[in-house]
């Protein structure tokens, strides 16, 4: 029997990730699966990466935010001036580049898009959003059944695991395969229930071709300390970060990001960063 901790989307929120890792240890977890977007938007990307490296995960795949790093390294960011969220991606990636250092920034940008691993004779198909793209809304939890069938259509794997949506779910394909999403460690969202100040992850218990249990865990963490660190480090888009963490409602939409860009003149900063930083 083995217990797998499924962890994703900590987004630089180390206080939340620390609580999750402490809880996983108390639950006698054997192995860790990392689902991407460990950095970006929160104040402590380096602390998050180093904490997860210490537990020696079975696998670690790239998220859409780390994929932005690769675009910047390859100088593929062109014509972003009219795209508020692209401007934000440059600003927040610049912050991460300063905190992570070049080596870890580059390493995160080179993580695989998907991986298949076998544990207890169960084959897992692991990805961030879909097996072919690490962004987009294809795997949103209320989408049609055919979307979830498509997630597993190109593999004979027994179980699918992904992150990205910041909402925890358990789905099943029409041919009887489980798909798990443990939600977000650092920025969980809920349209109805209280999720503020809690870090979401999951523990999957398996034993020789059997799924014994799925434990969706929402672990309390020190929200005030997280916001204090974010203020002290002067993270970009702090107001949106604070609102999301305090309310559990998603704030990084086009309208709110565009307003922050204008208020803080982030376009000029993004243009300067793209030209001057040695990514």
Q: CB under 8 Å to 188, separation ≥6 — which residues?
A: 166, 167, 168, 195, 198, 199, 200, 218, 248
Sheet hosting strand 168-172, strand order edge to edge: 114-119, 122-127, 159-161, 178-182, 168-172
> Domains of the chain, with CATH numbers?
2-276 (3.60.21.10)
* Predicted TM-score (pTM) of this structure: 0.97
pLDDT along the chain (279 residues), means of 10: 98 98 98 98 98 98 97 88 96 98 98 98 98 97 98 98 98 98 98 95 97 98 98 98 97 97 96 87
Burial class (CB in 10 A: 0-12, 13-18, 19+), 265: exposed
- Residue-level pLDDT at 33: 98
Nearest to 3 by CA among 209, 207, 216: 207
Q: Compute, in degrees rounded to 10, the torsion defined by CA atoms 221, 222, 224, 230.
A: -80
The Cβ-side half-sphere exposure at 247, using a 13 Å CA radius, reads: 11
**How large is the angle between the packed helices 84-100 and 45-54, nearest 10 degrees?**
60
Q: Cα–chain-centroid distance for residue 209?
A: 28
Q: pLDDT, tens digit, for every residue of 139-187?
A: 999 999 999 999 999 999 999 999 999 999 999 999 999 999 999 999 9
Nearest to 167 by CA among 192, 189, 151: 189
């Amino acid at each position: 029997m083995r217990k797998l901790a499924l962890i994703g989307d900590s987004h630089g929120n180390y206080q939340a990730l620390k609580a999750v890792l402490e809880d996983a240890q108390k639950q006698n977890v054997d192995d860790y699966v990392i689902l991407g977007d460990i950095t970006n938007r929160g104040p402590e990307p380096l602390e998050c990466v180093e904490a997860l490296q210490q537990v020696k995960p079975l696998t670690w795949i790239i998220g859409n935010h780390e994929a932005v790093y690769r675009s910047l390294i390859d100088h593929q960011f062109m014509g972003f001036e009219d795209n508020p969220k692209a401007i934000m991606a440059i600003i927040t990636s610049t912050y991460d580049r300063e905190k992570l250092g070049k080596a870890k920034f580059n390493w995160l940008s080179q993580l695989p898009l998907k991986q298949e691993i076998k544990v207890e004779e169960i084959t897992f198909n692991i990805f961030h959003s879909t097996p072919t793209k690490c962004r987009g809304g294809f795997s949103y939890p209320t989408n049609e059944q055919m979307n979830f069938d498509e997630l597993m259509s190109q593999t004979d794997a027994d179980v699918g695991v992904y992150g990205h949506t910041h909402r925890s779910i358990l789905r099943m394909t029409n041919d009887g395969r489980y798909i798990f999403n443990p939600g977000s460690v650092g920025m969980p969202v809920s349209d109805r229930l209280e999720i503020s100040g809690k870090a979401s992850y999951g523990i999957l218990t398996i034993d020789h071709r059997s799924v014994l249990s799925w434990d969706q865990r929402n672990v309390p963490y020190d929200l005030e300390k997280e916001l204090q660190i974010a203020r002290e480090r002067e993270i970009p888009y702090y107001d949106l970060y604070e609102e999301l963490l305090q309310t559990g409602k998603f704030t990084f939409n086009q309208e709110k990001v565009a307003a922050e860009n204008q208020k803080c003149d982030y376009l000029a900063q993004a243009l300067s960063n793209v030209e001057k930083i040695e990514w």
